[in-house]
Structure 1
Amino acid sequence: MTQEGLKCPTVFTVDSYHTAPPPLPPRPGRKRHIGTTQVLLFLLVSVALSGMVIEAWLIYRLYHPSPPTEIALPSAAKLINEASALRPLPTKWPRLVEAPSKPLAHLTDGLDATAPAKDIMAWSEIADPLLYKVSYKDGSLIFHENGYYFIYSKVTFNVDILVRHSIELKTKYYLGKKTITLLKSMQTTVSRPSNSFLAGVFHFYKDDAIFVKVGDTSHVAHHDPTENVFGAYMI
């Protein structure tokens, strides 16, 4: 039996949420390291993609070629002139196609030969003279290059008296002398015609000049151009 006026007991409510421990905070994420395999894989993929791009460009160029560029070809005359400029040209070389490898000269007698003096031989300029890196002027051969040369001369005489024949040098390197005798012949002919031949080796400088001197050009025979010759060539 309950007593009146007895108070009911106090009811307490319990919050079950607070009975459990609080949740833990989220754990921080770890950094992922890129391995060597992944780097190699990336490089291989990049190379493969580059190859595909290049292959696509080559295929495009194959089926879409660019228009040809017009190139002006040089004329045959221009090519010949350029080829000739690469090799030395002869001063006068009318008979042979190719010039010699060294300077030379060979002169003969002729009707057009006019002696510059009574005792100096003249030579024909129209009888196919051979001149390469050696020029001819007023009876003299003028050298264009320094070097040793073999020189020669033959003169035919039509008299039976004492005749003189020599090869003379004009050079600026010997002061006080107008000419220098290089080779000389003096002889008394006993028959008509007779000839004198001179030859030797000498060193010459550029612009040196040599000429043939005789006692009197009126004593020289002029029957055939080959009777009188004058020449030189580098050795």
Structure 2
Amino acid sequence: MADADVGPCPQVFVVDTYSNCDSVPGEKKPMRARAGIQFLLLLLGLVMLGLVVQGVFIYTLYKKTEVLSHERSHPYFLNLSNPKSSEQQDGTIMGQVGSKELNEIPIQQPHLEEVQQRPFAHLMGSNNPGGDNNVVQWTHDSGDAITHNMSYDKGRLLVEREGYYYLYSKVQLNAVLECSLIQHKVMKDTSAYGHSILLMRSKSLRCRTPKPESAKTSNGEYLWNSFLAGIFHLQRGDQIFVTLENMQKIRPGSTDNFMGAFMILP
């Protein structure tokens, strides 16, 4: 009877949570990390290439600077007054320059003969400076006055070779007599135009005013200087001259008044 009262034994179910789990294989290295390494290698290569190019530029600049410093000691510029010595030194220096590397840029210096043949002129004040149309007259063949490969005619310098010229003019005036406008001009006549061309001008209104005794000269004059200078391109056949209004105010003198020109580049 006791056995009949006891129910059947309960079933026990055991769940094995690890029995059906598959093992996960290890993942491969991401492609992103591999691309990052390649980018870093490329960047490093570019940096190295930049350093090499920079080194080449620095070396080239150094060599060119060395050539320039060497050429500045050329005998043409150190001793133009001794052509024979300059020619001897020139052979030595040119031999040294020729032995330098081929990648250097040679610098051509003007020959001594070319420098000596460049036109120039220096005109000095005349005792009779007045000319037609207010053109100042000069002394061109006496004292320190000189013309070289340029001509002079009635106050005008005649250009015989085309090039860039440095022009200058200086006059001294006595501004004590009366109040007037003084204009000092450097002019050019050229075949390309039918009228004179103004190159430079000094314009000043000078009046008779009381001056301290220290500003007066011994003969009671009040002197005023006007100086003009500049670089201009001149053609063959051009005429350069100076005009001065109120010509009677100019103070005659060979050293107080002058005009000149010299070629700086052909």
The corresponding residue for 2:234 is: 204
The corresponding residue for 2:43 is: none
Distance 1:156 1:212 in 2: 13
Letter in 2 for 1:121: V
Aligned length: 133
Distance 1:173 1:201 in 2: 19
Superposed CA deviations along residues 53-78 of structure 1, whole A, max 9, x for unmatched, are: xxxxxxxxxxxxxxxxxxxxxxxxxx
Distance 1:233 1:217 in 2: 26
The corresponding residue for 1:228 is: 257
Equivalent in 198, 208, 211 of residue 181 of structure 1 = 198
The corresponding residue for 2:132 is: 117
Q: State the TM-score, normalized to the length of structure 1.
A: 0.53
Q: Is the 8 A contact 1:166 1:181 kept in 2?
A: yes
Distance 2:160 2:154 in 1: 16
Larger radius of gyration: 1
The corresponding residue for 1:172 is: 191
Distance 2:224 2:243 in 1: 17
Distance 1:228 1:214 in 2: 12
| SS of match in other structure, 2:116 | coil
Q: 1:118 Cα deviation (Å)?
A: 5.1
Distance 1:185 1:159 in 2: 15
Letter in 2 for 1:147: G
Distance 2:154 2:121 in 1: 15
Overall identity of the aligned pairs, in %: 32
Q: 1:110 Cα deviation (Å)?
A: 2.5
Distance 1:149 1:125 in 2: 18
Distance 2:116 2:244 in 1: 31
The corresponding residue for 2:120 is: 104
Q: Is the 8 A contact 2:140 2:146 kept in 1?
A: no
Unpaired segments ≥5 residues, structure 2: 1-114, 208-214, 216-221
Q: 1:138 Cα deviation (Å)?
A: 0.8
The corresponding residue for 1:135 is: 151
Distance 1:110 1:126 in 2: 11
Distance 2:155 2:262 in 1: 17
Unpaired segments ≥5 residues, structure 1: 1-98
| SS of match in other structure, 1:149 | strand
Q: RMSD of the alignment, in Å? A: 1.9
| SS of match in other structure, 2:255 | helix
Distance 1:116 1:155 in 2: 15
Q: State the TM-score, normalized to the length of structure 2.
A: 0.47
- Closer, same or farther: CA 165–226 of 1 in aligned 2, 3 Å: same
- Closer, same or farther: CA 197–114 of 1 in aligned 2, 3 Å: closer
Q: 1:233 Cα deviation (Å)?
A: 0.2
Bigger CA drift: 140-149 or 154-163?
Answer: 154-163
Distance 1:180 1:163 in 2: 19
- Closer, same or farther: CA 153–144 of 1 in aligned 2, 3 Å: same
Superposed CA deviations along residues 84-104 of structure 1, whole A, max 9, x for unmatched, are: xxxxxxxxxxxxxxx933100
Q: 1:159 Cα deviation (Å)?
A: 1.6
Letter in 2 for 1:231: G
Q: Is the 8 A contact 2:182 2:203 kept in 1?
A: yes
The corresponding residue for 1:215 is: 245
Bigger CA drift: 191-200 or 208-217?
Answer: 191-200
* Mapped pair 1:155 → 2:171: yes
